[in-house]
Structure 1
Amino acid sequence: MDPRGLLRRAGLEVEASPVPLHGGDISRVFRLGPYVVKVAEGAPSGLFPAEAEGLRALGARGVRVPRVVWVGEEGLVLEYLPEGPPDWEALARMLADLHRRREPAYAAPPGFLGTFPLPGREGGEWTEFFYLRAVEPLLRATWDLLEGLGPKVESLFRKPLPTEGPAPLHGDLWHGNLRFTPQGPALLDPSFFVGERGVDLAMMRLFGGFPEAFWRAYRALYPIPQEVERALPRYQVYYLLAHVHFFGKAYLAPLWKVIFAS
């Protein structure tokens, strides 16, 4: 569906022409006046509703996100957030406040990492929860590409991961899912669930994009214990398996690196 068609489906009309914006691997993203429209052909069922629910969940917990205007299986209409100056200390405050929150238990609705479907899961011990909900589905999907690394990945999760308590997570927190606005930082495209904050910290470390100014401010607000720091490579395995799934064996070298750092 074209972006104007999706706006009409949502009962909205604007005079502006669609302006392409940076999107993901499956969505096409456009600005039309006060709206951002995401559409895709062949999107997996539930993809856009899951994104909308993740945005609402973060917003309910104090994170600045674009308002969900309309959502359906065909696409998503969001509030357009204008660009503003970088404010890494404000991002540190927002994420520290999010990660300090405590939820009743680990929990994840059925969702996606990118377009990869992840099962729902509730409760239980953290290491088992994270492995069964996040790692194992991707490990099964990539096993034949891993050139013998599969058993090494399995062995990483036979020892417990450190726990600080169930916290709400963005779940896919790389720099492309961050936008600075005139009102401060905002987060986009979540893979929301309740887990340990090390999952978010690991993704933020994996591909860079978050400068020392952020980390200095975040650590001052919410210090990171050494055992959590040491666990970050194990969380990065999750994201690197996803990259192997989507992009192939070019990501085996960084996967080897984090396995042997664990």
Structure 2
Amino acid sequence: MDPRELLERAGLEAKGPPQALYGGDISRVYRLGAYVVKLSPNPPPGLFPAEARGLRALAERGVRVPQVFFVAEEGLVLEYLPEGPADWQGLARMLAGLHRRREAFYWAEAGFLGTFPLPGGEGEEWTEFFFLRCIEPLLKAAWDRLEGLGPRVEALFQKPLPAEGPVPLHGDLWHGNLRFTPEGPALLDPSFFVGERGVDLAMMRLFGGFPQEFWRAYQALYPIPEEVERALPRYQVYYLLAHVHFFGKGYLGSLWKAISAS
């Protein structure tokens, strides 16, 4: 689909040709004036509606995100956020505020990590909820690629994870889903659910991670208990299973390292 077609369906218009932006491994992303159009060839049903719900959920909880103007199965029309200076302390304030917002219980709507479908559900016991909602579906999907690591992953979740309390999560918080704007940091492309903040913190430590300037500011605002620090490799298993599923056995070394550190 031409991105201008989705803009027209939204009742919006922009002058000039579409400008291609980086869209990661999933989407084709274009800027058209004040708007961003995200498209994907043959997206799984519900992918873009789930992203729109996640953006709105974060916005309702005080996080800066691009405004959603239009959503369809074929794609999204979002607000274009101009680039601004890096503000790691501002990001720390925003995330500490998000992670301090207590919810009544753990819950998720049916959604996605990347294009991998995850079930909805709710629960009061964190370890069981996290395993059933996040780990087990990916474990089954990646099992044949794990070269015997599957039982080791299962064993990790026989012991309870630390539980500070249910809070809203971005759910896929790597540096590619962060944008600094003139008004401050903003988050993109969430895999939103309500869980333990260690899930977000764990992803922020993977693949190069975020700089010490961020972590010093976050720790000062909302210190991370030692038991949560020790649990971060178990949360990283979630994201590494997804990488094994999507990209292959090249991520088994990282998965083994996370298992061994747990």
- Structure-2-length-normalised TM-score: 0.99
The aligned residue for residue 171 of structure 1 is 171
**Separation in structure 2 between the aligned mates of residue 81 and residue 124 of structure 1, nearest angstrom:** 37
1: CA distance, partners of 2:79 / 2:153? 40
Query: 1:45-65 CA distances to partner (integer Å, 9 max, x unpaired)?
Result: 000000000000000000000
Q: Offset of 1:72 from its aligned partner?
A: 0.5
CA shift, 1:123, in A, is: 1.6
- Match of 2:82, SS? coil
Aligned to 2:205: 205
Mark the runs of 5 or more structure 1 residues left unpaired by the alignment.
none
The alpha-carbon deviation at position 24 of structure 1 amounts to 2.4
Tell me which residue corresponds to 2:218. Answer: 218
CA distance in 1, matches of 2:114, 2:167: 21
The residue aligned with 2:13 is 13
Letter in 2 for 1:185: P
Identical positions, percent: 79
Query: Post-superposition shift, 1:208?
Result: 2.1
Q: Counterpart amino acid of 1:155?
A: A
Secondary structure of the 2:84 match is: coil
Which portions of structure 1, spanning 4 or more consecutive aligned residues, are displaced by more than 3 angstroms?
A: none
Structure 2 CA distance for aligned equivalents of residues 206 and 44 of structure 1: 26
CA shift, 1:73, in A, is 0.2
Q: CA deviation at 1:124?
A: 2.7
Distance 1:104 1:142 in 2: 32
Secondary structure of 1:104's aligned partner: coil
* Residues 50-129 of structure 1 mapped to structure 2, 5 A cutoff: 50-129=50-129
1:27 CA displacement: 1.0
In 2, the alpha carbon distance for the partners of 1:253 and 1:225 equals 27
In structure 2, C-alpha distance between the alignment counterparts of 1:156 and 1:40, rounded to whole Å: 35
Q: Deviations over 1:94-136 (max 9, x none)?
A: 0000001100110000000000000001123100000000000
Q: How many residues align?
A: 262
Show the counterpart of 1:187: 187
> RMSD in angstroms over aligned alpha carbons?
0.6
Deviation string for 1:189-230 (max 9, x for gaps)? 000000000000000001124100000000000000000000
Aligned to 1:227: 227
Q: Give me the whole-angstrom Cα distance separating, in 1, the residues matched to 2:209 and 2:248.
A: 23
Q: Secondary structure at the match of 2:158?
A: coil
Identify which range, 59-68 or 23-32, moves more after superposition. 23-32
TM-superposed CA distance for 1:5, in Å, is 0.8
**What TM-score comes out, normalization by structure 1 length?**
0.99
- 5+ residue gaps, structure 2, are none
